[in-house]
Amino acid sequence: MIGYLRSRVLQFVPVLFGISFIVFILIRLIPGDPAIALLGTRATPELIERVHEQLGLDLPLWRQYLHYLANIARGDFGTSFFYQTDVWTLAFERVPTTLALMSYAVGLSVLAGIPIALLAASRRGTIADEGIRLLLTVALGIPSFWLGIVFALAFGVVLRILPISGAGHGGFDTLRHLTLPAITIACALTPILVRTLRSSLIEVLNSDCVTTGRAMGLARRYLLTSYLLRNSLRPVVTVISINIGYLIGGTVVTEQIFSVPGVGSLLIGSIATRDYGIIQMATLLFALLVVIVNLVADLLYRVIDPRVQL
C-alpha cells in the first residue's frame, strides 16, 4: 500500500511542477509592472524597488521561477498586502470550510442521484425514463449563480427557513448554514451523476451476477444493496473524480453567493481588491485538490473492488 502510494505520488511530481509553473506565470500576465499591481494603492518607488528585489523581477524568467520554487519550499507563498498576513495562512484556514461544503454537496448528490438513476434504469425506454433524461438535460443548463440567488430568495428571505450567509458556528449550526449552498451545488452535480449511474445500473441489471442472484431467489434487499449498489460504487467514484473541476467551479460560485468563508469566496473576493497573491494561492490550492482527489479515487477503487491489485 505504501509502495503504491509512493509510486503514484511520484507520478504526480511533474504535474505538480507544471502546476506551480502555471501559477507562477499568472502574475506575469498582468499588464504593466506586477510590482505596482501587487502593491496597489500603496505603491511608492521604494516599495516597488523592494518588491522587485523580493520577487526577483529583474532576473530572467527561469531564475524567477527557481526563486519562486525556493520560496515555496520555505513555505513562503507571498503576502497579502490587503490582509497583511501571509497568503498561505489566509487560504489554508478556509480549506476545511470549502471541503465541508463540497463533501456535503457530494453527499446530497449521491443520495438524490442513486434513487433517480435506479428509477430511470428500471424503467428504461419508458416515458418516465425519457422524462428523467430530459429533465437532466435541462438541469445541466441551469447556471449555479442564478439557482443560488433564487434559492437564497425563496428559502432564506421569503420562507425564512434556512440561513443564506456564513458558515455558522460549527456542528449542527454549520450544517444548517451550508445546506442551501450544498443543495445549489448538488443541483449541478446530480444530473451528471445520474447519467453515468443510469448507464452503469443498466449494465449491472443485465449482468450475469445479478441474473444468478435472481436465480437463487435472493431477497430484494440483498439484490439492491450487495448486487446493484455495491457494483455501482465504482462509476460513482469515477464520475466524481472526473468532474471534480466542475464541482470546484460550482463551489466557488456558490461560496461567493452565500458568503461562505471558504477558499472560493476568497478567490472571488480578492479580485476586486486586486490581491494577486491570494488569487495565486487559491488557484494553486484548487489544483492541488484536483490532484489529491484523483489519488484518493485510485485508493477508493482498491477498497471498493477486492479484485483490484495495488
Partner 1 sequence: MRVGLSALWDRRPLLIRAQERRGPRTKAWSMRIGVIAFIAFVLAAVAAPLLTPYDPVKLDLLSALQPPSFAHPFGTDHLGRDVLTRVIFGAQVDLQIGLIGVSIPLVIGTIIGLLAGYFGGITDAIIGRVIDVVIAFPFLVLVVAIVAMLGPGLVNLFIAITVVSWVLYARILRGETMAVRQREYVIAAEGLGYGHLRVMLRHILRNAIAPALIFAMSDFVLDLQLGATLSFFGLGVQPPRAEWGLMIAESRNFMLSSPWTVLFPGLAIILLSFIVSLIGEGIADRVRGLHDE
Partner 2 sequence: MTNDEGLVVEDLRVSFGGGTVPVIRDLSLQIPAGEALGLVGESGSGKSLTARAILGLLPRGAQATGRIVLDGKSLLDLSPAARDRMRGSRIGMIFQDPMSSLNPVLRVGDAIAQVIRSHEDVDRKTAKSRTIELLQRVGLNDARRRFYAYPHQFSGGMRQRIMIAMALAANPRLLLADEPTTALDVVVQAGILRLIDGLRRSRKMSLLFVSHDLAVVSRMCDRIAVMYAGSIVEEGPTVQVLHRPRMPYTIGLLNSIPGPQSSNRLAAISGFPPQPGTLPRGCTFAPRCPMAIEACAQSAVAMVEVGSDHRARCLRTADTGKISTGETSAEPNTSVSAVSHA
Interacting residue ranges for partner 1, rule: CB under 8 A: 14-15, 18-19, 21-22, 26-27, 29-31, 115, 118-119, 121-127, 130, 137-138, 140-146, 149-150, 153, 157-158, 205, 214, 220, 224, 244-246, 248-249, 252-253, 256, 267-268, 270-272, 276, 279-280, 282-283, 286-287, 290-291
226 binds, among partner 1, partner 2, none (CB under 5 to 8 A by kind): partner 2
Q: Does 169 bind partner 2 (CB under 8 A)?
A: no
Binding flags for partner 2, 194-213, as an x/- string (CB under 8 A): -------------xxx-xxx
Q: Does 216 bind partner 2 (CB under 8 A)?
A: yes
Whose cell is 443541483? That residue is 187
Which candidate, 8, 9, 42, 90, places its Cα nearest to that of 278?
90
Neighbouring-strand partners of residue 86:
79
Residue 155 — φ and ψ, nearest 5°? -90, -25
Which candidate, 190, 189, 200, places its Cα nearest to that of 121?
200
114 or 167, CB closer to partner 1?
Answer: 114
106 or 174, CB closer to partner 1?
Answer: 106
Residue ranges of alpha helices (H) inside the chain are 2-28, 34-39, 45-55, 61-73, 87-92, 95-122, 127-140, 144-151, 172-205, 208-215, 220-222, 233-242, 244-257, 263-272, 276-304
Q: How far is CA 244 from the centre of its chain?
A: 5
* Minimum CB distance to partner 2, residue 106 (Å): 21
* Minimum CB distance to partner 2, residue 241 (Å): 19
CA angle 2–97–13, rounded 5-degree value: 35
169 or 307, CB closer to partner 2?
Answer: 307
Q: Does 74 bind partner 2 (CB under 8 A)?
A: no
Whole-angstrom distance, CA of residue 214 vs CA of residue 168: 48
218 binds, among partner 1, partner 2, none (CB under 5 to 8 A by kind): partner 2
208 binds, among partner 1, partner 2, none (CB under 5 to 8 A by kind): partner 2
Whose cell is 451528471? That residue is 192
Q: Does 224 bind partner 2 (CB under 8 A)?
A: no
* Minimum CB distance to partner 1, residue 133 (Å): 9
Q: Does 214 bind partner 2 (CB under 8 A)?
A: yes
Long-range contacts of range 294-300, CB-CB < 8 Å, 24 or more positions apart? Answer: 294/241, 294/244, 295/5, 295/8, 295/9, 295/12, 296/241, 297/237, 297/238, 297/240, 297/241, 298/8, 299/5, 300/237
* Minimum CB distance to partner 2, residue 305 (Å): 6
> 3-class DSSP state for residue 211?
helix
40 binds, among partner 1, partner 2, none (CB under 5 to 8 A by kind): none
Residue 215 — φ and ψ, nearest 5°? -65, -30
223 or 268, CB closer to partner 2?
Answer: 223
7 or 225, CB closer to partner 2?
Answer: 225
**Using CB under 8 A as the criterion, which residues of the chain lie in contact with partner 2 when the complex forms?**
207-209, 211-220, 222, 226-227, 230-231, 304-307
